Chain A
Amino acid sequence: MSTPLLKLRSVNKSFKSADGSDRLILENVDFTLNEGEIVALLGQSGSGKSTLLRIMAGLISADSGEVEYAGKPIYGPVNGISMVFQSFALFPWLSVQQNVELGLEARGIAPDVRAKKAKQAIELIGLEGFEGALPKELSGGMRQRVGIARAIVLEPEVLLMDEAFSALDVMTGEHLRDDILELWQSGDLPTKSLLVVSHNIEEAVMMADRALIFSSNPGRVRFELPIELERPREPKTAEIHHLVDCIYTEMVTPQRRLADGQLDYGLATERSPYPRANVASIEGLMERLIDPEFLGRADLPKIAEAAEMGDNAFINAVEDLVLLEFAVVKDGDLIATELGSIFGNGDSELRKQMLGQQALQTIPFISDLYRELKSAPSKKVSFDQLTKSLGLSLNKRDVKKTLDLILEWSTYGDLVDLDFKVRKVFLHSESPVRA
């Protein structure tokens, strides 16, 4: 069980951003995938996991570092590596059978042989009888089964799953996941190892032998958690809970874990101080936290479930609460600060005031903007200017989102007002704003 199928060493990748400068997406990533194991890669959206996966699939090439499959360097897509896509990527004009046969046809396998193999894969994945259907006639779960069948019919040694269950509803996703694990356990899944990329922590813990936590900006493997539970794993047990807890804590804690396992508190947070969650999420989470159920101190996975937000949204909200000094994270728990309790208990007027104050104190971008608007009477700053200056330190994809949040926080906190017609920001005035 020790032949590394995939080996990545010191992989770096950067992309050119809009202004021509390089943005580092992956930094010194080391990664090994061995035969007979399932590895989960966890991280928030935009953390470079997709890029890493595509480098392994041979779709993109790394800028530097080694990428090897079975000891040989990867220059392009390899026969032994197959992929399942988040949005299924089925060809809408091909039937289920034809979609599954796609890879076989590309390899020049004879029609009768392909038909037989495809039929076997379709039966294995549970879609018997649907060979002639077109993708648009199938539900989401069934489409993903086709995607899986298409990948495993090629008998790959490595199966990459790019957020394969994220586009499915919770029950369908769980059902499909259990089916795959069952096949894996019984040895019927014709692949030697799985790499599951996900942002769903529980899914990762249920499936994997190893979970790697990926940090973003730039992306690197931050933490590795071995999961030595026997399969099949029951979802609501104490061991699972503990593992999920560990991972949550790791993901929201800004400390860096050094190579020898020591925690390093001295470095600044990896994340630049910009808002990541909207006001409604922050307020909602805070209210939940000071609820009688938690009374200001909550176990992270528990309050994640209670808050009923997606994993990504939850982590963003937690980080923003910490940023605004309304809460801290300690020992796997989210703890409200005094400031936070006042915020949670206050009425809307008080909350607006507090959010405005804290935003000014803790988010340099907002305080800079405020200062500039104050510098001259009736000064206005355009959206485009803000977009440009955000673009200097953020990914193009994040700029629009972050700008929207900055403007939302600032207007909510009564710091600024907006004029959408001319797309400019100006100082908030106490007098009623013209319509």
Chain B
Amino acid sequence: MSIDNIQNSSSSRPNAENLAVAPSGIWDLVLLPIILLILLVLGFGAEEMAKPFLVGTPIELSLDAANLPYYLLRTILRMFIALAFSVVFAFGFALLAARSRAAEKVLVPILDILQSIPVLGFLSITVTGFIALFPGSLLGVECAAIFAIFTAQAWNMAFSAYQSFKTIPAELEEASRIFKLSPWQRFWRLDIPVSMPGMLWNMMMSMSGGWFFLVASEAITVANQDIKLPGIGSYIALAIDERDLSAIGLAIVTMLIGITLYDQLFFRPLVAWADKFRFEEGDGEVAPKSWALNFWRRTVWLQQLGLGVIKLFEGSFRFFRKRTDGTSAPSVKLIPAHHFARGWDILVMIAACLAVIYLIKYIHTEVGLTEVLHILYLGVLTLIRVVVLIAIAIVIWVPIGIWIGLNPRIAEHSQAVAQFLAAFPANLLFPIAVVGILHFNLDPNIWLSPLIIFGTQWYILFNVIAGASTIPVELRYAADNLGLKAWTKWRRYYLPAIFPSLVTGALTATGGSWNASIVSEYVTWGDTTLKAEGLGAYIAEMTTAGDFPRIALGIGVMCIFVIGFNRFIWRRLYLLSEKGLNF
């Protein structure tokens, strides 16, 4: 515990020591133009979003490489706007669900269901609505695209925030009550900091999720519309239409540049700054570094400005404070009576029953029960694909994940790689898939399947890495010391140690795979279309045709499969891992 430590932690406040390190203001001069440039560029992008537009007029797009920076700008702008909405949604949801028992009972299952609805599902329902909202302007379509991206980002963030709010350390909660923090103060001083680490990781994964469904979000071909918004997603869609391989390659490069940019300029600094919110003390863990944050910390006036803004905000704490004391009656907390909770339960049950009855009637009249059986059959086919592929992915990636996780230096860089790999849209693999299958005359039913798992297998890998890297050092030493060999080592040490992380990863991966099946079982390259028989292909087809009842039915069945899988398989596995594992 040296003086140096203290100075480093307070280096966010300019003081005499900091000023002695660099001449005052030089970093401000370096950083200020960069920041202004970024703001200008963003402003330009925002202006472009609201350009006039009439439904039916095609938007100009070209595969010219010179357009790529502009397209990248539009895409990133969309994704960050969606991310902002996702953050607000996540905290709003978490507040409601964590504070109110009654709300929790309804909200958590709803989120479960929303999570299983594919992006295309949301888009097909909302796109006409959004367009009607802003007639004559491109803003309506932009909103639809942003909303689509939002649905690819928001759900896991909401769960993460909810989890964090429910696991706030009891002593901190007591302290905030004893020192009479008002709800507003407590939210900013306790709830948000506690959820920061989880939220940041989920934000990064959400951005990748946004990329994965980018093509579907920007090249809107639902409900008989065909609008391609300027962006990388549409670029890829156009490249696929025109069978332009080099354009696909350029798209990949641009994606890589985009991800690197926002990783270095946004996420990395945030993660480095948010390190102080981690309160599990890792033994000797290296703090994450960010050059961008270091540059920022070396500025003088910019930092003052930033701190000034924060101080201004903190002024709100003074305004929204607890104005009563514990000795006055209004302080009494009202706990709703027991029978209110029962009444609420009954109400929810009745609503659910009514909804089911109405649904069955609707399905019967619009679609017919034979179709339902057919859809269920397709669902089973996709289920088989997902299960087999997840099993293969587990067998491949678990050993690799464990090896990486036990090697801290390699594990450190895995976070950056994770972002890129998880973001890689399956659409970019279409040419390989189509060309490969046609050339070798393969059965699409089998050989389109790897596309499903392509984007989601990384969840397994990275969760196993995370699990392996938290294996206590003593356990490793004990295993070495006892000379555990091969199969015993796996049975007694490796597998039980990473089992919970593996289950988390596999759960996320299967959920994502169901979603991915929609863009993986129905593949186009130019005018060639390949189709595998399955629920994903069904939904994709119905979406292009704009057949609402069948879209809803397909999505509903997919939800049932996902949720059923979760409850009956993953939950059981979690409980098993808690009870003690004996392989």
Given A92-B277, A93-B193, A132–B180 Cβ distance below 8 Å?
no
- Interfacial chain A residues near B175, Cβ < 8 Å: 83, 85, 89, 91, 102
User: Which one of B25-33, B320-328, B491-499 is at the A interface?
Assistant: B320-328
Contact B321 A77 (CB under 8 A): no
For this complex, into which size category does the number of interface residues on chain B fall? 35 or more
Contact A102 B189 (CB under 8 A): yes
Given A108-B321, A139-B1, A76–B331 Cβ distance below 8 Å?
yes
* Cα–Cα distance between A76 and B330 once the two chains are bound (Å): 9
- Interfacial chain A residues near B582, Cβ < 8 Å: 421
For this complex, into which size category does the number of interface residues on chain A fall? 35 or more
User: Which one of A67-75, A168-176, A425-433 is at the B interface?
Assistant: A67-75
Contact A106 B325 (CB under 8 A): no
- Encode contact with A along B314-342: 1 for CB under 8 Å, 0 otherwise: 10011101100111110111000000000
B77 touches A (CB below 8 Å): no
Contact B327 A89 (CB under 8 A): no
* Cα–Cα distance between A78 and B329 once the two chains are bound (Å): 12
User: Which one of B6-14, B144-152, B436-444, B513-521 is at the A interface?
Assistant: B6-14
User: Quick one: closest A residue to B190, CB to CB?
Assistant: A91
Given A106-B317, A137-B6, A75–B177 Cβ distance below 8 Å?
no
Contact A85 B171 (CB under 8 A): yes
User: Quick one: closest A residue to B182, CB to CB?
Assistant: A106
Contact A91 B180 (CB under 8 A): no
* Cα–Cα distance between A244 and B314 once the two chains are bound (Å): 50
Contact B318 A91 (CB under 8 A): no
Contact A82 B178 (CB under 8 A): yes
- Interfacial chain B residues near A78, Cβ < 8 Å: 325-327
A213 touches B (CB below 8 Å): no
- Interfacial chain B residues near A139, Cβ < 8 Å: 1
Please tell me which one of the listed residues A70, A81, A87 contacts residue B171 in the complex, with CB atoms under 8 A apart: A87
A229 touches B (CB below 8 Å): no
B474 touches A (CB below 8 Å): no
Given A74-B327, A75-B329, A139-B1, A133–B317 Cβ distance below 8 Å?
no
User: Quick one: closest A residue to B315, CB to CB?
Assistant: A111
- Encode contact with B along A92-121: 1 for CB under 8 Å, 0 otherwise: 111100000011011110110000000000
* Cα–Cα distance between A405 and B317 once the two chains are bound (Å): 51
A136 touches B (CB below 8 Å): yes
Within 8 A of B (CB), among A222-243: none
B179 touches A (CB below 8 Å): yes
* Cα–Cα distance between A78 and B327 once the two chains are bound (Å): 6
Contact B185 A105 (CB under 8 A): yes
User: Quick one: closest A residue to B322, CB to CB?
Assistant: A106
Contact B277 A132 (CB under 8 A): no
Contact A132 B327 (CB under 8 A): no
- Interfacial chain A residues near B317, Cβ < 8 Å: 105-106, 108
- Interfacial chain A residues near B278, Cβ < 8 Å: 92
Please tell me which one of the listed residues B10, B178, B190, B314 contacts residue A95 in the complex, with CB atoms under 8 A apart: B10
Contact B181 A106 (CB under 8 A): yes
User: Quick one: closest A residue to B179, CB to CB?
Assistant: A103
B100 touches A (CB below 8 Å): no
- Encode contact with A along B141-185: 1 for CB under 8 Å, 0 otherwise: 000000000000000000000000000000110110111111001
A58 touches B (CB below 8 Å): yes
B276 touches A (CB below 8 Å): yes
Within 8 A of B (CB), among A136-184: 136-139, 150, 154
- Interfacial chain B residues near A73, Cβ < 8 Å: 327
Given A91-B193, A137-B6, A76–B333 Cβ distance below 8 Å?
yes
Given A106-B185, A137-B6, A75–B180 Cβ distance below 8 Å?
no
Please tell me which one of the listed residues A70, A94, A103 contacts residue B180 in the complex, with CB atoms under 8 A apart: A103
A317 touches B (CB below 8 Å): no
Contact A111 B311 (CB under 8 A): yes
Contact B180 A95 (CB under 8 A): no
In the assembled complex, how far is the CB of residue B168 from the closest CB belonging to chain A, in whole angstroms? 11
Contact B326 A137 (CB under 8 A): no
Contact B185 A132 (CB under 8 A): no
- Interfacial chain A residues near B13, Cβ < 8 Å: 132
A-side binding surface: helix, strand, loop or mixed?
A: loop
Given A59-B174, A77-B180, A106-B181, A133–B326 Cβ distance below 8 Å?
no
In the assembled complex, how far is the CB of residue B362 from the closest CB belonging to chain A, in whole angstroms? 42
Contact A133 B6 (CB under 8 A): yes
Please tell me which one of the listed residues A82, A88, A92, A138 contacts residue B276 in the complex, with CB atoms under 8 A apart: A92
A412 touches B (CB below 8 Å): no
Contact A133 B5 (CB under 8 A): yes
A134 touches B (CB below 8 Å): yes
In the assembled complex, how far is the CB of residue A228 from the closest CB belonging to chain B, in whole angstroms? 32
* Cα–Cα distance between A87 and B318 once the two chains are bound (Å): 28
Please tell me which one of the listed residues B9, B311, B325 contacts residue A137 in the complex, with CB atoms under 8 A apart: B9
- Interfacial chain B residues near A150, Cβ < 8 Å: 179
* Cα–Cα distance between A249 and B325 once the two chains are bound (Å): 42
A370 touches B (CB below 8 Å): no
- Interfacial chain B residues near A133, Cβ < 8 Å: 5-6, 9-10
Within 8 A of A (CB), among B538-583: 582
- Interfacial chain B residues near A315, Cβ < 8 Å: none
Given A73-B327, A111-B311, A93–B277 Cβ distance below 8 Å?
yes
A130 touches B (CB below 8 Å): yes
B279 touches A (CB below 8 Å): yes
- Encode contact with A along B4-45: 1 for CB under 8 Å, 0 otherwise: 011101100100000000000000000000000000000000
Contact B177 A59 (CB under 8 A): yes
- Interfacial chain B residues near A95, Cβ < 8 Å: 9-10
- Interfacial chain B residues near A83, Cβ < 8 Å: 174-175, 178
Query: Which of B6, B172, B281 neighbours the largest number of chain A CB atoms within 10 Å of its CB?
Result: B6
- Interfacial chain B residues near A92, Cβ < 8 Å: 276-279
- Encode contact with A along B441-479: 1 for CB under 8 Å, 0 otherwise: 000000000000000000000000000000000000000
* Cα–Cα distance between A92 and B179 once the two chains are bound (Å): 16
- Interfacial chain B residues near A130, Cβ < 8 Å: 6
Query: Which of A74, A92, A129 neighbours the largest number of chain B CB atoms within 10 Å of its CB?
Result: A92
* Cα–Cα distance between A229 and B5 once the two chains are bound (Å): 44
Contact B193 A136 (CB under 8 A): no
Contact A89 B172 (CB under 8 A): yes
Interface residues, chain B, CB within 8 Å of chain A?
1, 5-7, 9-10, 13, 171-172, 174-175, 177-182, 185, 189-190, 193, 276-279, 281, 311, 314, 317-319, 321-322, 325-329, 331-333, 582
29 chain-A/chain-B pairs, Cβ below 8 angstroms? A54-B174, A58-B326, A59-B178, A70-B327, A73-B327, A74-B326, A75-B328, A75-B329, A75-B331, A78-B327, A79-B326, A81-B326, A82-B179, A83-B175, A83-B178, A85-B174, A91-B175, A91-B189, A92-B277, A92-B278, A93-B193, A93-B277, A105-B317, A106-B179, A106-B322, A108-B321, A133-B9, A137-B9, A154-B179
Please name 8 further chain A to chain B contacts, defined as beta carbons within 8 Å, in addition to the given A70-B327, A136-B281, sorted by A numbering. Answer: A54-B174, A91-B190, A92-B277, A94-B189, A95-B10, A105-B314, A107-B180, A132-B7
